[in-house]
A and B are shown apart, each in its own frame.
Chain A
Amino acid sequence: MEEKKITSLEGMAIINEMIQRSKTRRFIGDGNILLMWGYLVVGVAALVWILIDLTHNPAMNWFWYLIWIIGGIATPIMARKRREKAGVTTYADKIGNAVWTTVGLSAFALTLICLGFFLFSGTDTWSSMLMLPLLIVGFAEIVQGVAIREKSLIWGGGIGIVSGLVTLCCIAGGIALYAGWFMPMFIMSFALMMILPGHILNYKSRKER
């Protein structure tokens, strides 16, 4: 393509062709951030579950913070690399960034609120930290799934929301979240919500290439 005058018909053809060429919604490695978070959450949840089971020490719950520390450091690095590799930021990316930033900030705000309750009134509200990721991550996944038209994200997000609502009802109804049933549900939900769609996304983007 070069700098040359064109007819009206050619003008219209160029516009159509460029829209076609730039309408790619998937890029190689799109599922990597999802996979990182999925394996991280599942790994840490399994670690906490095993440690609590072995030691019966609630202090092992502090290991949950590994998720925020590792994920918080890795995500911006991975997102920047992905952006540079793709060479383009689409409107779907913009929606995704806004939604996931909201998820991150909400989780951070809830941590501070729970800490506040614990420090100032001695009330244990930490179980809400188990409900929030399921609900809000599920919601974010559905938004992203709609934006990039990826059904596995929509289904995964739906499963997360249902698990989150079950957890919410248990908390509201005073039903104890025993590790024996809650941890497998939590781990399974994140595997279906992030790991499975992450691999599907990577497979599809490789195939499209």
Chain B
Amino acid sequence: MKELDPLLHSQLRLAVMSILMNVEEADFVYLKEKTSSTAGNLSVQLDKLSSAGYIAVEKGFVGKKPRTVCRVTDTGRKAFEEYVKDLRKLLNI
């Protein structure tokens, strides 16, 4: 049996990817609110997903406040679809 993508098979990273697959782009505050995570933890997981090329992170400013916007990349989309396919196989659904 094929092993599930370890980068996605983790609670917070999977939650982030699931949200980003469902929208065009989302900012850090939105992701933090929807995943009920802490800023520090979310930041670390976003870095991991970004390093793997699964998401693109754009850092900017709104007035003087920083704003981080994330969107899923083609690599991330493919990886997520593959992950769901493997998950379905494992669960026989």
A5: chain B residues within 8 A (beta carbon): 9-11
Residues B62 and A3 in contact, CB atoms below 8 Å apart: no
**Could you say which interface size class chain A belongs to?**
20 to 34
Residues B84 and A15 in contact, CB atoms below 8 Å apart: yes
A90–B29 alpha-carbon span in the complex (Å) = 15
Please tell me which one of the listed residues A6, A93, A94 contacts residue B11 in the complex, with CB atoms under 8 A apart: A6
Residues A10 and B11 in contact, CB atoms below 8 Å apart: yes
Q: Please name the residue on chain B nearest to A95 by beta carbon.
A: B24
Considering only residues 24-40 of chain B, those with a C-beta below 8 Å from chain A are 24-27, 29-30, 33-38
> Nearest chain B CB to A162's CB is how many angstroms away?
33
Residues of chain B at interface, number, CB under 8 A? 35
A2, A12, A17: most-surrounded residue (chain B CB, <10 A): A2
A12–B89 alpha-carbon span in the complex (Å) = 12
Q: Is A11 an interface residue (CB 8 A)?
A: yes
Excluding A23-B22, A91-B23, A93-B24, 17 further A-B contacts by CB distance (< 8 Å) are: A1-B12, A2-B37, A3-B12, A3-B13, A4-B11, A5-B9, A11-B9, A15-B14, A18-B19, A22-B19, A22-B22, A22-B34, A87-B33, A88-B23, A88-B24, A88-B27, A89-B23
Binding site for A on B (CB under 8 A): 4, 9-15, 18-19, 22-27, 29-30, 33-38, 41, 44-45, 62, 67, 83-84, 87, 90-91, 93
